[in-house]
């Protein structure tokens, strides 16, 4: 079981930082009927999540498990948590087949991600517990106080979630923040469409929200849109050099 650390993100959102194979955060979002869980960590991490939830004041039942995308570090414990809590599993329609087992390599645009994702699926993704999505959401839908924003590229149907009341974007893997360096693919080949991923980063920068919270790395507070634009300008400059 990973080491879990609870971290307050905003009045309604709490992160559970998990340190296993590498650092990844899942998020508990308070709403009027309980808690929504955004992403679920690797397989076997459900014990840590469910134990953390016990420390929350009532109502502390997880009503929904919202999956941003199909990578194993985000969906691995979803079925166990949903079963234990009686929660509904939610994702975008475009991501649903990949969460339920279709290899992401089939959606890869270039040779490198096609190869990397095929190996990733063979070594681990295909061994995940079966996860069934019970509800699909689309751009603009609001669930548990979270507004859905399509953020494809890293995977075909990735979503980001905006908590308008708290002024926070849970950006999933649309933006990483490692060692004060932001980007969309710190592991080369895990992004199915790099150009589309850059477009999603640009879109997040235009949401008008300065507090962006990645699943990997610390929050980007205050200057998030400016940092994203700077990163994208650098990418464009390198391509045109």
Round the average pLDDT of the chain to a whole number and report it. 92
Structure confidence at residue 22 (pLDDT): 65
Render 91-160 in DSSP notation, one character per residue.
EETTTHHHHTT--GGGG--SHHHHHHHHHHHHHTGGGSPP----EEE-TT-EETTEEEEE--SSSTT-EE
241 vs 4, higher pLDDT: 4
Q: Are strands 142-143 and 146-150 parallel, antiparallel or unpaired?
A: antiparallel
Structure confidence at residue 125 (pLDDT): 65
- 94-99 average pLDDT score: 97
Structure confidence at residue 21 (pLDDT): 54
* pTM of the predicted structure, to 2 decimals: 0.95
Rounded CA gap, 213 and 58, in Å? 25
User: How much of the chain exceeds pLDDT 90, in percent?
Assistant: 76
Rounded CA gap, 145 and 30, in Å? 8
Structure confidence at residue 17 (pLDDT): 92
Identify the burial level of 239 via C-beta atoms within 10 angstroms of its C-beta, where 0-12 means exposed, 13-18 middle and 19 or more buried.
exposed
Tell me how crowded residue 141 is: count the other CB atoms within 10 A of its CB: 15
Give the domains, in start order, of the chain with CATH numbers: 3-240 (3.60.15.10)
Render 81-99 in DSSP notation, one character per residue.
HHHHHTPEEEEETTTHHHH
Residue with tokens 């790395």: 217
Structure confidence at residue 1 (pLDDT): 60
Structure confidence at residue 126 (pLDDT): 65
């Amino acid at each position: 079981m990973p080491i879990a650390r609870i971290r307050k993100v905003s009045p309604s959102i709490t992160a559970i930082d998990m340190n296993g194979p590498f650092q990844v955060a899942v998020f508990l979002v308070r709403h009027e009927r309980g808690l929504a869980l955004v992403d679920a960590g690797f397989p076997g991490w459900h014990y840590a999540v469910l134990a953390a939830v016990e420390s929350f004041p009532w109502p502390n039942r997880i009503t929904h498990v919202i999956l941003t995308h199909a990578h194993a570090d985000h969906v691995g414990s979803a079925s166990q948590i949903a079963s234990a809590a009686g929660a509904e599993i939610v994702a975008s329609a475009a991501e649903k087949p990949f969460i339920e087992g279709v290899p992401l390599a089939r959606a890869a645009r270039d040779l490198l991600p096609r190869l990397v994702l095929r190996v990733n699926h063979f070594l681990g993704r295909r061994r995940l517990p079966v996860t069934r999505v019970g509800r699909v959401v689309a751009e603009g839908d609001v669930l548990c106080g979270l507004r859905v924003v399509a953020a494809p590229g890293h995977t075909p149907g990735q979503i980001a979630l905006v908590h308008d009341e708290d002024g926070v974007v849970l950006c999933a893997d649309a933006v990483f923040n490692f060692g004060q360096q932001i980007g969309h693919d710190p592991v080369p080949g895990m992004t199915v469409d790099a150009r589309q991923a850059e477009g999603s980063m640009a879109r997040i920068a235009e949401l008008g929200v300065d507090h962006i919270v990645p699943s990997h790395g610390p929050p980007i507070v205050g200057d998030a849109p400016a940092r994203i634009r700077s990163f994208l300008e650098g990418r464009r400059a390198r391509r045109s050099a």
